[in-house]
Amino acid sequence: MTSPTQSLQHTEAQDRFFRLHVDSYDVRLDLASDEATFGSVTTLRFTSQGGPTFVDLKPLRVHSITLNGRPVDAELLDRGRLPLETEAGANELVVDAVMRFRNDGEGLHRSVDPADGRHYVYGMSFMDAAPSIFACFDQPDLKAPYTFHVRAPEDWVVIGNSPATNPEPGVWELATTQPLSTYFVTLVAGPYHLVRDEHDGIPLGLSSRASIARDLDKDADEILTMTRQCFDEFHRLFGIRYPFGDYHQAFVPEFNAGAMENPGCVTFRDPLIFSSRVTRGARVLRATTIAHEMAHQWFGNIVTPKWWDDLWLNESFAEYLGNRVTADVTEYGDTWTHQAYDRRLWGLTADQRPTTHPVASNGAFDAVAALQDFDGISYAKGSTILKQLNARLGDEVFFAGVIDHFTAHRFGNATMADLFGSWEKAGAPDLSDFTSSWLRTAGPDTVVLDRDAGLLRRTPPAEHPADRTHVLRVATAVDGTWRTTAVTLDGPETPFDAGGSAVVVDPYEDSWGIFPPDQATVDALKELLPSVTDDALLAAIWNSVRSGFHNALLSPVDVVDLLEVRLPIEDTELTKRHTLPWVLSAVLPIAPEGSLERVHRAALTRLDSSPEGSELQLAAFRTAIGTSTDPARLESWLTGELPLGLERDLELRWRVLVRLATLGATDASALDAALAEEPTAISRVEHTRARVSLPTAEAKEFAWARFTGEVDVPNYELVAAGEGMWRGGQEHLTAPYVARYFDELPATVRVRSGWVLADAAEAFFPLPALDDDTLARARALTELPGLDLSMRRRVLDQADELARRLAVRAAYPVA
């Protein structure tokens, strides 16, 4: 019963949908009897046309199974599936099983808070995980109402998809839900700290671990204010009220995603409750995450995609409307600029990978394959295309179609064709050309300026030809002033006379494509960049620079030159938060010697000139820490006086410790002592990152034991171990692990699964081993028969990144 499970095929889901109608789930969970396992009794009532089918179930062991009162042999359970011979008409399946608490962020995850030893549980049922909590027909289009009954330790609180009562100590009864897909079902249980409120008749709640209760209380007003503002705006836009009763936002430990939109009980990763000082960018990210999940209550929860190939109906819409609503009605009116830095290159990079896929109808033949497509294409690219579509249709037609879609398929499932039918019903023109070129065809066009010919050249990717029309703006610098011109690119060549001006194509994200700068623009920007005051334009410039470098059209020296002139006068922390990490990880390893020191000096200049207590000062200080090669100065920042306006909080202490460890200027015992001094969840993760960053053989063995599963650690610690393993200058220690990665990665499927399996494959990939042999090994691994699909996807993507960095180095060799 613990053997690897099978992933649901689309054809199997179609057959089961044709055969079954699920009437209800009644689930009894006993969370109080054991810290390693929990009891799960599922009563599943369904109507069948009769004949064979199967139920999804991933237990540790089974006590009993009955179908229509007759016993079913539990030995028939094979790789997560129990075959059933159903009767025509009503059927009742009862499964009494013992399930395992998990520590990988999926199923029913149980976490121990190192700050106080308290235990916390939350459910993540997404994508193949629900059967490890209860027996179910695990596919999005077999919706049903759920009723949960929970026994828990008496000092715990239990929250779920519907309001809960606590009739006696340790007993919790949850009301029957609206019809839900299995992947939305959640339960949050433990000694959580609660904040309650109400808005417009909707009970609101927040929760967090007790050890960060003070931090939640400090942020509660901001979070609840945003929630109220977003509800009012979504109600205005849709004309349909939130229909799932309470709206609880639970900040839970060791959560894999940013958040999950479970109706009635949204779960968020709890680092979004800030225990150290953060910049505005972090608050914008939290704000857009909150709004994104609220948008899902309509796009995804009221109407759910019938199958995973339409997941964009969830994510692209939530991304677009979450950003739009945050920008329109909250204090974060600059949201779109933040998203330009935070998300656009995430999507563009994914869209250039060999694993690219269309936004819509992406060909997800099974659930595991679909999981790999929750990427920057489904979020950022899809959001940009919806923004284009909204501009084309106008709000009146756009939202009339959306409302019709929600009304026609309320609490049910739908497809892309259903939504576009609603738009056409609302007055939209024939959108077949738009859907074919933008939604059903993968890959971005590349638009480059041919200055001598006076042309903008538009080239689709050779593997995914399309004839897309781009309606966008072009910014040109004339005598130090930026002017914007509207341009329509409706053919391979469009006249555009740039003269001798610097040119930025699509500075305001009107379209989707690769818009690298030409060399004349790059050269001009070394003079112009310090004077750019338009934050959206600045974001577009950095995105064009990143695109140029990614495609080996711009040298590492140029990137460092640009950063060096902008960083000392940077008037937003966004460059430091997004551009700088990319420079440190991708550019500096192949830049000329001395480049790191140049960036560090620029950061110190900005630090010295930043107003005391400002976000700029904090961002500059973080940059200075990350680029420092001076252990004495780092030690002074750890134990001595800081510049006025800065506070040595937990985040900054560990940032310094990780940098000291990377330089070999501390040791394992000092890091262990720092963890013991303040044993929080953040400290535990950063301690792992610092330990594996040490330039010692023991440190690399420490990391590798976590990769192989010899040492079992929660998901955040596992990823931190991978991220800290491959430090520059430590190649003499990490070289033996390059071959070991490719040899040993396939076997990790025995010790982990799902989301964290793929995350570990990416985090431990030896990307800094920049040579052709590493690339050849990576490509050979992707051809290995039977390699887990999620592993293959991450290795393919990392191999593509490695190939691109090798291409940059070949195009711009260091003297």
Q: How far apart are CA 556 and CA 315, in angstroms?
A: 34
What phi, psi does 52 have (nearest 5°)?
-80, 145
What's the burial of 786, exposed, middle or buried (CB within 10 Å: 0-12/13-18/19+)?
A: exposed
Q: What is the pLDDT of residues 525-576, one digit of tens each?
A: 999 999 999 999 999 999 999 999 999 999 999 999 999 999 988 877 777 6
Neighbour-count burial for 712-751, b at 16+ CB within 10 Å, e otherwise: ebbbbbbbbbbbbbbbeebeebbeebbeebbeebbebbee
Q: How confident is the model at residue 524 (pLDDT cuts 50, 70, 90)?
A: very high
DSSP 8-state symbol, 42 = E
Amino acid code (one letter) for 407: T
User: In this structure, are residues 327 and 563 in contact, taking their beta carbons and an 8 Å threshold?
Assistant: no
- CA trace torsion 739, 744, 745, 748 (10° rounding): -160
- Residue whose C-alpha is closest to residue 446's, from 492, 515, 363, 392: 515
pLDDT at 675: 97
Q: In CATH, what number does 213-246+255-444 get?
A: 1.10.390.10
User: In this structure, are residues 533 and 571 in contact, taking their beta carbons and an 8 Å threshold?
Assistant: yes
Q: Which pair of tokens denotes residue 123?
A: 């459910």
What phi, psi does 43 have (nearest 5°)?
-110, 115
CA quadruple 457, 460, 465, 467: dihedral positive or negative?
A: negative
Average pLDDT over residues 585-609: 95
Q: What is the pLDDT of residues 771-800, one digit of tens each?
A: 999 999 999 999 999 999 899 999 999 999
Q: How confident is the model at residue 370 (pLDDT cuts 50, 70, 90)?
A: confident
DSSP string of 119-188, one letter each residue:
EEEEEE-TTTTGGGTS-B--STT--B-EEEEEE--TT-EEEESS-EEEEETTEEEEPPPSPB-GGG--EE
Q: How far apart are CA 385 and CA 344, in angstroms?
A: 12
Amino acid code (one letter) for 143: K
End-to-end Cα spacing for the chain: 59
Catalytic residue check, 293: yes
Q: How far is CA 494 from the centre of its chain?
A: 37
Distances (CA, A) of 634 to 6, 166, 286, 412: 51, 52, 30, 57
Distances (CA, A) of 254 to 293, 496, 685: 18, 51, 10
pLDDT at 1: 32
pLDDT over 90, % of the chain: 93
Q: Which of 293, 509, 573, 615 is catalytic?
A: 293
Average pLDDT over residues 698-717: 97
> Which CATH architecture does the domain made up of 1-191 adopt?
Sandwich (2.60)
DSSP 8-state symbol, 106 = S
Question: Is pLDDT of 362 > 80?
Answer: no
Q: What is the pLDDT of residues 723-742, one digit of tens each?
A: 999 999 999 999 999 999 99
Q: Which pair of tokens denotes residue 13?
A: 């889901």
DSSP string of 699-759, one letter each residue:
HHHHHHHHHHTSS---HHHHHHHHHHHS-TT-HHHHHHHHHHHHHHGGGGGGT--HHHHHH
Q: How far apart are CA 513 and CA 429, in angstroms?
A: 24
The order of strands in the sheet holding 493-495 is 446-450, 455-459, 493-495
Q: What is the pLDDT of residues 611-628, one digit of tens each?
A: 999 999 999 999 999 999
Helix axes 681-693, 668-677, angle to 10 degrees: 170
Q: How far apart are CA 335 and CA 280, in angstroms?
A: 11
Decide the pairing of beta strands 412-414 and 259-260: unpaired
- Residue whose C-alpha is closest to residue 56's, from 156, 151, 129: 129
pLDDT at 798: 98
Q: How far apart are CA 730 and CA 383, in angstroms?
A: 40
Distances (CA, A) of 300 to 306, 325, 479: 10, 17, 49
User: In this structure, are residues 260 and 267 in contact, taking their beta carbons and an 8 Å threshold?
Assistant: yes
What phi, psi does 200 have (nearest 5°)?
55, 40
Question: Is pLDDT of 3 > 60?
Answer: no
Q: What are the respective helix, strand and coil percentages of the chain, to the nearest 5?
A: 45, 20, 30
How many other CB atoms sit within 10 Å of the CB of residue 427? 12
DSSP 8-state symbol, 642 = P
Q: What is the pLDDT of residues 228-271, one digit of tens each?
A: 999 999 999 999 999 999 999 999 999 999 999 999 999 999 99
Average pLDDT over residues 337-361: 93
Q: How far apart are CA 688 and CA 675, in angstroms?
A: 10
What's the burial of 544, exposed, middle or buried (CB within 10 Å: 0-12/13-18/19+)?
A: buried
User: In this structure, are residues 355 and 791 in contact, taking their beta carbons and an 8 Å threshold?
Assistant: no
The DSSP bridge partners found for residue 275 are: none
User: In this structure, are residues 84 and 53 in contact, taking their beta carbons and an 8 Å threshold?
Assistant: yes
Q: How confident is the model at residue 364 (pLDDT cuts 50, 70, 90)?
A: low
pLDDT at 363: 64
User: In this structure, are residues 2 and 16 in contact, taking their beta carbons and an 8 Å threshold?
Assistant: no
Question: Is pLDDT of 2 > 50?
Answer: no
Distances (CA, A) of 711 to 374, 453, 574, 714: 29, 61, 37, 10
Question: Is pLDDT of 814 > 90?
Answer: no
Q: What is the pLDDT of residues 162-201, one digit of tens each?
A: 999 999 999 999 999 999 999 999 999 999 999 999 999 9
Helix axes 556-566, 535-550, angle to 10 degrees: 160
User: In this structure, are residues 470 and 532 in contact, taking their beta carbons and an 8 Å threshold?
Assistant: no
What's the burial of 353, exposed, middle or buried (CB within 10 Å: 0-12/13-18/19+)?
A: buried
Q: How far apart are CA 722 and CA 93, in angstroms?
A: 43
User: In this structure, are residues 540 and 504 in contact, taking their beta carbons and an 8 Å threshold?
Assistant: yes
pLDDT at 342: 87
Q: Would you say how long the chain is, in residues?
A: 815
Q: How confident is the model at residue 815 (pLDDT cuts 50, 70, 90)?
A: low
The three state secondary structure string of 511-534 is CCCECCCCHHHHHHHHHHHHHCCC
Q: How far apart are CA 265 and CA 711, in angstroms?
A: 33
Average pLDDT over residues 277-300: 96
